Amino acid sequence: MTSSRDLAAFAALLADETRAGFALALLDGRAWTAGELARYAGVAASTASEHLGRLVAGGLLAEERQGRHRYVRLADDRVAHLVEELAAYAAPGPAAAPRTLRESSAAHAMARGRTCYDHLAGRLGITITQAMTARRLLTQDSGFALTERGTAWFGDLGIDLAVKGRRPLVRGCLDWTERRPHLAGVAGARLCTHALESGWCVRIGSERAVKVTGAGEHALHTLLGIEPGTLR
């Protein structure tokens, strides 16, 4: 049984703007060096190292060392799920207006389509999730679940849905810009990988934003009936 003290200590790991910023940056699914995160957050290397030590010790981050370089990443998809949902709850009101054209462009790109750790999010992720539900590939009646038709759909695309470890096959992840759940879990991750490897989507900019290509618009229209204009 988790005690109130344990819960408070765990919550305190993200109750700091720098550490919270690290967690949000690491939602891109990559491993970052301490120096990269320090520059991202605008803090000294020693400060970043101290914060990262706390996050690693608390189980939110995993650490890898290659030679002299130290890399950190989110510990697993459960941590990514937690951070994304907290982000959705942390901003219940309208977002602050971007201060520059660059910030505005980046915000629009992230809202249109992005990766959340290893699955698709933003309007793109929600649109795909809703289209799969409408075509009875996915149900959301009492949590997310693939139907037999949905399992066959993944198989027709050549996507392996073998589950390893404790990660669920499918689950909903609350989208922080759309405030609705998008597809996560093994199926969400494999679909995202397929979309990127097949050229349906490409990464843009230095953030997590992705853009649907012409080939992607055609594929998603053919497979899920998604009108191309809704993805732009």
pLDDT digits (tens, 9 = 90+) for 153-169: 999 999 999 988 788 99
| pLDDT tens string 28-82 | 888 899 999 999 999 999 999 999 999 999 999 999 888 778 899 999 888 988 9
| pLDDT tens string 135-150 | 999 999 888 999 999 9
Q: Is 86 within a domain?
A: no
Q: What pLDDT band is residue 103 in, cutting at 50, 70 and 90?
A: low
| pLDDT tens string 161-219 | 998 878 899 999 888 888 889 999 999 999 999 999 999 999 987 668 899 999 999 99
Q: What is the pLDDT of residue 90?
A: 78
Q: Is 221 within a domain?
A: yes
For 22-31, 84-93, 109-118, which range has the lowest pLDDT when averaged over its residues? Answer: 84-93
The verdict on 45 and 108 lying in the same domain is no
Q: Is 173 within a domain?
A: yes
The verdict on 104 and 215 lying in the same domain is yes
Q: Is 219 within a domain?
A: yes
| pLDDT tens string 2-14 | 789 989 999 999 9
The verdict on 137 and 56 lying in the same domain is no
Q: Which of 75, 109, 136 is the last residue of a domain?
A: 75
Q: CA–CA separation, 7 vs 129, rounded Å?
A: 32
Domain span at residue 116 reads: 94-231
Q: Which of 14, 43, 75 is the last residue of a domain?
A: 75
- How many folded domains does the chain comprise? 2
The verdict on 188 and 121 lying in the same domain is yes
Q: Which of 27, 47, 75 is the last residue of a domain?
A: 75
Q: Is 213 within a domain?
A: yes
By CB neighbour count within 10 A (0-12 exposed, 13-18 middle, 19+ buried), where does 139 fall? middle
Q: Tokens standing for 105? A: 């462009």
Q: Is 142 within a domain?
A: yes
By CB neighbour count within 10 A (0-12 exposed, 13-18 middle, 19+ buried), where does 205 fall? middle
The verdict on 164 and 211 lying in the same domain is yes
Question: Residue holding tokens 């510990």?
Answer: 75
Strand 138-139 to 171-174 pairing: unpaired
In this structure, what CATH number is given to the domain that contains residue 9? Answer: 1.10.10.10
Kindly tell me the sign of the dihedral angle through the C-alpha atoms of 6, 16, 85, 53. Answer: negative
The DSSP bridge partners found for residue 64 are: 71
Report, as an integer, the average pLDDT of 11-22: 94
